Structure 1
Amino acid sequence: MMNIVLTNDDGVHAPGINILRESLADIANVIVVAPLTERSTTGHTLTLDTTVRLQEISENIYGCNGFPADCSLMAIGHLFKNPQSKYYGQKIDMVISGINRGANLGQDVYYSGTVAAAREAAFHGIPSIAVSSCMDFLNTENKDLYYYSASNFIKTLVQSNISKVIPQMSLLNINVPWCKEAEILGTRVTKTGLRKYSEEIEERIDFRGRKYYWIGGIYKGYEDFSDSDCQAIEDKMISVAPVKLCDYGRSQMEMMETVKGFLEDVLPRKS
């Protein structure tokens, strides 16, 4: 079976990564390397000025005190290369980062620790996917059920050998609507869109009379253009966005056409 490394930015105990692990466990050897604490919105941070520690939580599940990109590196550069490791001499066939709690659409990909972990693996030549469930944070009543909408989709892709379709120096950024699987209207190959935020800075005063600030703001919609990942989610469709990491190999349009053809072949059509 394939060796699949799972990571995320929500933390090793987050429901999304554990539901995905359960879904993939019967078709692959799954190794989890994820942050010990939440590391959302940390981007492509690597720990270079302090120690990185790895803790074995249970069989094939490891917690790391670093950032999501550190977790990918720990799997690639340590667990699978250390002669004392039980994985030594084996190959990582895929890295999947997620299932993230919340969307990673538009320019979110540059802030996202989830996407960064997949990107770090892609830099090392490993087929990689970032997957997010576009959670409605005001309605989390059926959150585990909705995570299965994303995990079942990823399982279908893995079983259909999606790893063979992802070109070098690229990844797939997948976003899944926050709803039951039967309510999803289809799948669309998309481009990275642009979201709008108010980007408010709130000034407050601490108990010593000193100023401090919260960076916040309100989501205010997205730029309206064809084939955007933002529009796909608005249309209740799964967004599959090929992300090209450098000027290498196939063009963005060629990648989109390749992924589109693959999905048309392996996914059932909605009547």
Structure 2
Amino acid sequence: MRINIHAGHNPDGKVACGAVGILEESTEARKVKDSLIKILKYHGHTVYDCTVNNGMSQSDVLAKIIKKSNAHKVDLDVSIHFNSGRNDYDGDNKNGGVEVFIYSEDSKGRQYAEEICKKVQKLGYNNRGIKINNNLYVLKHSLSSAILVECCFVDDVDDAMLYDYDRMAIAIASGILGENLLEAIVTKDNVTLHKSESLDAISIGNLRKGDKVNVLRIRKLFIKVRIDGRTGWVYKKYLKSL
């Protein structure tokens, strides 16, 4: 696939930055975006970063994003955002959750939007589902099939407690690729669980063929996993996504 990815606002602290609460939208959107780009590239896809950091206003940011995005012929355009409006700073044991916007009912991005919502839901978030909006600038002016992902709420402590930018990126990548990258299975016996991201790192145990692990981070050669309360790094070629 060929994919555009962009964080939807100027950086935090600049004009036209994103929402701010417990989380800061512009900062976290860039973390998710960077991790998502790496994951998609690791899986062999062509990805363009169309994020804008020098917009003079909200309309200028949006126009510059579209100019960058429409310069590429892609299969999908993905705008990363964070939601606001919950105003829950004390916690009510309910999270705001994830939603994905598409331009119309018959948008080609619908299948990706549905899968992203399902995969982020696996992280524990409420699935708010697909939203139709033909007035959002990026969706309206993109020449490619476009989706706008509202990862979770910046002003909900329950969302913030669940949030991890790498896991969010893995969930979004899973939705785009139609795979479950959040979990993996060990493909051979006596695979070393390393303390850090290196074959020379201290071993903290061994994994058996068929062991199922939760994926926490995806890097070029290693994957950080959790199994039976242990967390460590496994050489990538010994894991297969479920």
Could you state the TM-score of these two structures normalised by the residue count of structure 2? 0.37
Higher relative contact order (CA 8 A, sep 6+): 2
